[in-house]
Amino acid sequence: MAEVIDGKAIAASVIDQVKAAAAELAAERGRQPGLAVILVGTDPASQIYVASKGRTARECGFASVQHTLPETTSEADLLSLVATLNNDPDIHGILVQLPLPGHIDSGRVIQAIHPDKDVDGLHVVNAGKLMSGDLETGLISCTPAGAMHLVRRVNGTDLSGLDAVVIGRSNLFGKPMGALLLNANATVTMTHSRTRDLAAACRRADILVAAVGRPQMVRGDWVKPGATVIDVGINRIPAPERGEGKTRLVGDCAFEECAEQAAAITPVPGGVGPMTIAMLMANTMTAAARAEGVPAPRF
Ligand SMILES: Nc1nc(=O)c2c([nH]1)NC[C@@H]1CN(c3ccc(C(=O)N[C@@H](CCC(=O)O)C(=O)O)cc3)C=[N+]21
């Protein structure tokens, strides 16, 4: 039976480090990191995530600002809010909650965020720095940064000789995750919906990272004995055993089966999810430290 990686506890320790760094910035410079989160529309899941980001930011000692815009907001109005925040010296981080309504080009909005304030790490400047092996001067996308933090806890910082397999190739997760693993010297295979014999590819993985968005797709016999399994999926499925109409969260991996094979595995909930929010705080702290010209702590 695998070690179950406690993402919640590890996230809490990252948040403690962020708190300490924010307190130091306040003491030395009288400045407070500022995070602006923009939510367009009323999607209930997005509302919960955005509220949780704001709560954690305040807990870190940040100034947290939420902009909630109606579903019908035009792209031009959203771009103009982003421009205002880009020019606001009290705001160090800007996050536009995704997905955006269909009439807004989310790519255009993300690329309008100043790269120094792009705490989601999705601007091409930040994505490009990561791909070119510069992990120092940009901002790294929160979910892959959080997942990598967990990999490091289990496998160390140097993954030389290890095979890593990522399922999923999104700009949001798969691609930056592949880049982080490669940078740590893993031999990386990027797989996706068109991969032939996905199970066989996964069986080679010493580090298996699943981000497909399909509940419990990765089965126990896809997992190499002794592997590290990082489950990035968050899927809500019906749970009639909990009562009529009830649901529960599951990952992209069939947890019990995979845990029997793996040496270490992340649970859902309580794995990568909490790390995403912790790394958002870390990125905001980093952006604030850089803006104030003080050494940016490493998280
Ligand atoms: N611009 C942007 N950046 C994001 O980082 C972003 C986004 N848009 N849109 C939506 C996704 C989703 N996301 C999560 C963050 C934390 C949990 C999390 O903490 N999950 C808990 C459980 C949450 C629950 O119970 O529903 C856990 O896994 O333990 C989940 C999902 C960030 N996202």
Distances (CA, A) of 44 to 40, 41, 298: 11, 9, 34
The ipTM assigned to this model is 0.94
Residue from 116, 118, 120, 231 carrying the catalytic annotation: 120
Please report, in angstroms and rounded to a whole number, the separation of the first and last CA atoms in the chain. 30
User: Catalytic annotation on 120?
Assistant: yes
Question: Which is the closest atom of ligand 1 to the Cα of 269?
Answer: 29
Best probe residue, ligand 1, of 234, 235, 268 (max atoms within 8 Å of C-beta)? 234
140 is in an annotated binding site: no
Q: Residue with the nearest Cα to atom 20 of ligand 1?
A: 273
Query: The whole model's pTM is what?
Result: 0.97
Cα–Cα–Cα angle for 72, 64, 271, rounded to 5 degrees: 90
Ligand 1, residue 280: give the atom nearest the CA: 5
Question: Which one is catalytic: 97, 117, 129, 206?
Answer: 97
pLDDT at 124: 98
Ligand 1: residues with CB < 6 A are: 49, 95-98, 120, 142-143, 234, 249, 268-270, 273-274, 276-277
Active site annotation includes 53? yes
The per-residue pLDDT string of the chain (299 residues; one tens digit each, 9 = 90 and over) reads 899 999 999 999 999 999 999 999 999 999 999 999 999 999 999 999 999 999 999 999 999 999 999 999 999 999 999 999 999 999 999 999 999 999 999 999 999 999 999 999 999 999 999 999 999 999 999 999 999 999 999 999 999 999 999 999 999 999 999 999 999 999 999 999 999 999 999 999 999 999 999 999 999 999 999 999 999 999 999 999 999 999 999 999 999 999 999 999 999 999 999 999 999 999 999 999 999 999 988 99
Cα–Cα nearest to 97, from 30, 58, 48: 48
How far is it, in rounded angstroms, from Cα 79 to Cα 108?
8
Residue nearest to atom 2 of ligand 1 (CA): 97
Is 104 marked as binding a ligand?
no
Residue 97 annotated in active site: yes
Give the length of the chain.
299
Which pLDDT score is estimated for 1?
A: 87
**Which domains are assigned to the chain?**
29-117 (3.40.50.10860), 142-273 (3.40.50.720)
What CA–CA distance (Å, rounded) separates 94 from 168?
26
State which of 276, 277, 280, 283 you would mutate to test the pocket of ligand 1, scoring each by most atoms of that ligand within 8 A of its C-beta. Answer: 276
Contacts of 15-18 with C-beta under 8 Å, sequence gap 24+, read 15/56, 15/59, 15/60, 15/278, 15/281, 17/282, 17/297, 17/299, 18/60, 18/278, 18/281, 18/282, 18/285, 18/299
